[in-house]
Amino acid sequence: MSDIHGLSHSGLELLVEAAGALLEENDLERLLPRLLDKAFEVGGAERGYILLRDDQGELKPALSRGIEPGSLPEGDPSRSVVDTALREHRPVISRDASRDPRFGGSSSLIIRGIRSACCIPLEAHGSRLGALYLDTTGTGRLTEEELPMLEAFGSLAALALARSLELSDTREALKSVVGSPKFPGIIGDSEAMRRMFDRMERIAAADLPVLISGESGTGKELVARALHQSGTRSHWPFRAIFCGNLTAELLESELFGYRRGAFTGAVADKPGLLDVANKGVLFLDEIADVPASIQAKLLRFLQDGEYQRLGDPEPRRGDVRVISATNRQLPDEIAAGRFREDLYYRLNVLTIETPPLRECEEDIPLLAAAILARVAARTGQPHKRISPAALRALSGYHWPGNVRELENVLARAAVLAMGEVVEPEDIDIPVKGEEIPQPASETKPLQEVIEAHILRVLKLTGGNRSEAARILGVSRRYIQKTLAKWRGEE
């Protein structure tokens, strides 16, 4: 453990800032640049490298700073400095590296004009992960006074790197066993999911509008993003907007933008999503909730590619692939007069239906493993496993909230479980076969039979009144009024 007693107050503040920056980042590709940037702040170097072990156990440069592309001399960074630090298992620093006897008069230090150099081994939990190398070739100078700070920083960096590598390994392991190779972000191997993957593969490259339908919580936005990443517009932006809780005025300004002075508070021009998503993909979630006035403007855009910003008399043209999603039956919305039939046919060129979780029961073990890995990454807690008994409990549930509900249940279980394994008692859902005892209909009053049946269905749906009403064939208002009556509120 490094000694931090020799650090100045400003040095400690810098380390605290570095710790926050490093330990909040889990993604390895984003962590490495932040690690190297913070190392420059701590050490005042002019050039730097992060070295990581390759598949053969050899240290190779993974990232560099201050190096012009194509100018890396063979053998750079200095192997003599790196080897010394690794051999001694501690940071090594030299203010006059080319004359330092520890480096054996290395000619490479002289040839490259290296004045001072430093190497910090990155080791955590008994494993050597890599090394951080810094040097100066100009007027800068690394000195022994910076060694305590660099040593403390190396300890923090090694912990952050160890966590990121572990999570990266977990994610790669999950990718190798679940989901479609073409859509690795979507997990599932059931027949229903394979049918969806097959349809997605045929649709992804077709540059036409897509309508994704499915129950809430089935991952419609994940499908939209996967189509974008696998399509011809993958190098252009993906923008998404949830249409379900926006007023017509706000939705219009978000989609089409506005000119300065279009309304009170419009102090500058604002581009809309059709502007910022140009050449890319715009995802309209819950398209059924779009107000009629906006439906007409969307129809115009889908027909001829034209739209207008608020307050701008001049039409604009956009090149955007529109992917929309809904959990409703749009033909029913058309019949009720709430949705334009002509817009429906413009949106409904290609269709994908996301299957509910109850049709993909065999995917629950794969989903559970992936969700628990994500929870560990997000919370910093150890990665917890799930017991066979807990998996049986999950498989016996109806999942009215689909994968989103499964994520919430497992996140809660992972945080509250006392041990390293999630057990049935950690899962807050009805277990398979659990029902409220039913009174014998031939000996009980009809009202008691009705009450018991409603309660049983509510428990099976996890208290979801809308789903219970659907199963019972009654309105949600009937369920609410019945429960209020039982509580003596009516």
Residue 357 has pLDDT above 60, yes or no: yes
Alpha-carbon torsion, ordered 14, 18, 20, 23, to 10 deg: -160
For 67-98, write each residue's pLDDT tens digit: 554 444 444 667 778 888 888 888 888 877 77
Please provide the size of the chain in residues: 490
Binned at pLDDT 50, 70 and 90, residue 341 comes out as very high
pLDDT at 56: 65
Q: What's the pLDDT tens digit per position in 25-69?
A: 667 777 788 888 877 776 667 888 888 876 666 778 888 877 554
Task: Give the pLDDT score at 177.
Answer: 47
pLDDT (0 to 100) of residue 192:
94
Q: How far apart are CA 149 and CA 157, in angstroms?
A: 12
Residue 30 CA to residue 234 CA, distance in Å, equals 20
In the predicted model, is pLDDT for residue 267 greater than 80? no
Residue 308 carries which DSSP code? -
Give the number of other CB atoms < 10 A from CB of residue 199: 15
Residue 356 confidence class, pLDDT cut points 50, 70, 90: very high
Mean of pLDDT values over 310-330? 92
CA distance 10 to 69: 34
Give residue 484's pLDDT. Answer: 67
480 against 32, higher pLDDT: 32
Tokens representing residue 246 in the block? 């926006």
Interval 224-247: pLDDT, tens: 999 999 999 999 999 999 998 788
Of 134-148, 253-267, 471-485, least confident by mean pLDDT is: 471-485
pLDDT in the model for residue 290: 93
Query: Given a cut of 60, is residue 367 above it in pLDDT?
Result: yes
**Phi and psi based region of residue 23 (left: phi greater than 0; alpha: psi -120 to 50; beta: remaining):** alpha
**Alpha carbon of 118 to those of 66, 103, 126, 138, 317: distances in Å?**
15, 12, 22, 15, 56
Cis peptide preceding 388, ω within 30 of 0: no
Instruction: Quote the Cα angle for 439-443-444, to 5°.
Output: 55
Residue 281, SS3 per DSSP: strand
**Angle at alpha carbon of residue 343, lines to 337 and 346, rounded to 5°:** 150
In this predicted structure, the answer to whether residue 314 has a pLDDT above a threshold of 70 is: yes
pLDDT tens, position by position, 149-181: 778 888 888 888 877 776 565 555 455 445 566
- Residue at 477: amino acid letter: R
Q: Quick one: which of 188, 205, 348 has its CA closest to 284?
A: 348
- Residue 408 Ramachandran class (φ > 0 left, ψ -120 to 50 alpha, else beta): alpha
Domains of the chain: 9-173 (3.30.450.40), 191-355 (3.40.50.300), 358-426 (1.10.8.60), 446-486 (1.10.10)
Sequence-ordered list of residues with C-beta below 8 angstroms from that of 80, at least 6 positions apart, any chain: 103, 104, 106, 108, 109
Of 319 and 11, more confident: 319
Q: What is the largest CA-CA distance in the chain?
A: 100
DSSP string, 50-110: EEEE-TTS-EEEEEEES--TT---TT-S-HHHHHHHHHHTS-EEESSGGG-GGGTT-HHHH
What 3-state class would DSSP assign to 135?
A: strand
pLDDT of the residue at 373: 83
Cβ neighbour number for residue 488 with a 10 Å cutoff: 6
How would you label 168-190 residue by residue, b for 16+ Cβ within 10 Å and e otherwise? bebbeebeeebbbeebbebbbbb
**pTM for the whole structure:** 0.55
Residue identified by tokens 């090694």 is 158
Angstrom distance (rounded) from CA 48 to CA 117: 10
The predicted pLDDT at position 330 comes to 94
Tokens of 427: 């899962």
> 152-156, 243-247, 259-263, 437-441: lowest mean pLDDT where?
437-441
Please measure the distance between the N-terminal and C-terminal CA atoms of the chain and give it in whole angstroms: 67
Tell me the β-bridge partners of 239: 282
Task: State the Rg of the chain over Cα.
Answer: 30
DSSP 3-state helix, strand, coil percentages of the chain (rounded to 5)? 50, 15, 35
The chain-wide mean pLDDT, for the chain, equals 80
